[in-house]
Chain A
Amino acid sequence: MRDKYEVVIGLEIHAQLKTESKIFCSCSTRFGDEPNSNTCPVCLGLPGALPVLNRAVVEMSAHAALALNLTINQESIFSRKNYFYPDLPKGYQISQYDRPFSERGWVEIPTSERNESGHAIEWKMKRFRIHRLHIEEDAGKSLHEGMRESASKSYVDLNRSGVPLAEIVSEPDFRSSWEAYDYVQYLRRALQYTDVCDGNMEEGNLRCDANVSIMPRGAEKFGTKVELKNLNSFRFLQRALEYEIDRQIAAVESGERIIQETRLWNERDSKTYSMRSKEEAHDYRYFPEPDLPPLVVSETMIEHVRQSMPELPEARRRRLIEQYSLSPDDAAQLTDTRTMADFYEATARASANPKSAANWILNELVRELKNTGTDISASPVGAESLGAMIRKIDDQTISGKMAKDALIEMYKSGKSVDEVVSEMGGGQVSDEGAIREMARQVIASNPRQLEQYRSGKSTLLGFFVGQMMKASGGRANPQVVNRVIKEMLEGEGQQN
């Protein structure tokens, strides 16, 4: 059924800019404080109070805009979006309408459909256009439960009122839920790389609304769009889109007409519910905000921001593949956050073995970080330390097996690889004479196994290797052990 239809999705992302103070006053943007403690006449919308634009918001918006290849307008205008709601203290939200901060951007990123178990089927590069990014203030929060008299009252917390947001509106360029998913993931990463947004959907500092429609494959005119809200995680976003696509197809197939409306995703029921139809839609009566002059951004300032832009995640991913011969998957994982990518590249340098660095980080270190709930930026084993450890493997001072144990110990204690290895009784033993001597003893004390081996049970090689490792306290060089014991088991047999 899906094949008959083409899906059209557009996304509106609200990204909370991580400034210290609010967009139009000096109140703190800190999350989780006592309700209404971070407020003043301006963000409470008291009569007579006036907004003053926080320049840090402009700087961060410029970073975000450039990261998304948007053109920053030299002059943009703030407008009032008028509507009544208890958590909107002025009765209007200061936003941008006619002339937004920036327009006409794009990202070109890998995207893929997923199979039933959620694995990517085939990554392809695709360009998604971005219509605009504009600046606005957040509203407060209505609290309907959890307060003393919640049964009979609703409460309002205005700590969030006036927190700066960048609203990023895409073109309707997504043809599946996974494309939308990959785009939002990328957007989050780009905003984190440029250090302008924490990108946490669950905490609400990245919020997403979607416009969804379907049309018969090959049609030129888009179908009637439905707006989806309450998509509070990446998973919800993808699932809600899937549900909504199915719902629309089922409706059309049964001869119904799609009505333009806003629907809310309900995670518990895994369904979308109608919130309001177009007929009830707001007329926001936008008009230019007379309390704020036009926002003028100079070419010098844009240039300054351009200079301070970090390498963006997609560019970095491609470079990592190129420069370190990484697999696309590894490169994607290693560029998930800027700190991860920084950590990787520092380890690659320190170890002089980029491939191995990628493996150690992704297979071993990430597991330890996950188990202890630690961010890589706070990893007890630093990039230099991990690099030194990898060097020790490469110069055969320690074996890979030893290194695994050593890393766990280094992670626990914060000690260097040298300290840990010496505590383990020293580096690996590669001296052939010593290993031969050890082998002689192992063979001598296991005559029955020797007998069986020699009568053809060659799987017993593993047993002898194990005995060797045990006898050496894990320090014997496994390659040398393998070679020597095999040689002795077979060679001495021939002699006898």
Chain B
Amino acid sequence: MAETHQEIVKVWIAPGCIVCDACEGECPEVFDVQEETCVIRPEAMKAEFTRPLTPAIIAAAEGCPVEVIKYETIEVEGPEPWAGQEEAAAAAAPAAGGGGGGGAAKKAGPVIPEGPPDPKWAGLLSTARVSGSRSGGGPAVRTVPVAKVSAEIIASALPGDAPPDAKVAAMVGTGYIRPGGSVAQRIRERAGLTRREATSVAAGTAALLTIAWGSVAATLATMGGALQSYLVPKLTKEPPSSFKAGKISDYPDDGVYEQFKGSQQVWIVRQKGRLFALSTICTHLGCIPNWMAADAKFKCPCHGSGFYMDGVNFEGPAPRPLERFKISLEGDTIVVDKAVKYRAELNQWGLPGSELMV
């Protein structure tokens, strides 16, 4: 069976190009990266043009990060015509790359092979030219003399230990690495500004940045202040914990007196010669029970806890009796202090202050 190989007869770009310049770096004869997308150069629409460039197109398609480069191949008899070139390039690459390491470190930079251009390097050089022409779109854009970039310029621009790989060389070609000139200068060149203009733009940018960061700082400071006054309020409403509950004569009979239920959350209970102040908060989940006089019990509407008139729990889920508040006499006025609590399960009922003998 005769030897065959594949040659590309048609190449196109599917939607989704991210304009990354990678394909143009690999094969500038075919791909033209424009501002918004990448297109196939008109001359590359022909099969005769693309067939010899098959390896470069395949390299571009494989190098495309979004894989939008598509191509169609035919089978051609005979060995690959470019096979020798590839091997030559492969042989040249390590030789050139040796500049960075070992005893050869004294070299100024990687050696760019001269003579008939390796397809890769030829591509890179034309990339530089293409890139230069592309940036000539706007009226104010200064023409960048990259068209004259030669192998020597590239070599001198590259860092000493840079491998002569396509990416670095492409950066040289597209102006990212250039002999001489600071970064700022290159930016100015790109934007087509003079030094004076650039200075004023920089001043304007600095002013805008100051305003922006100032606004952020002011906003944060305001929020911090708000948070601070929220955490440390200047005014706190703390109603006095104790209140006057009338005289003993206001509670003549045994029973539950509800006049302070709404305002103070306290029941005053008189039972068997004792007067005490019960909290209206259910000891189960904090609902407010109702006093059911006919049944002589407090009954919670939330989960059905029940308490006897003395506050002791007897039904439902409440785990402990209602709490008592401190009750005392000032002259003949009853004073209830809600800051002091007496809990039955801690054996605090019966302590002085938990009840008044009447």
Q: A and B bound?
A: no
**Residues of chain B having any CB pair with chain A under 8 Å:** none
Which A residues lie at the B interface, using CB under 8 A? Answer: none
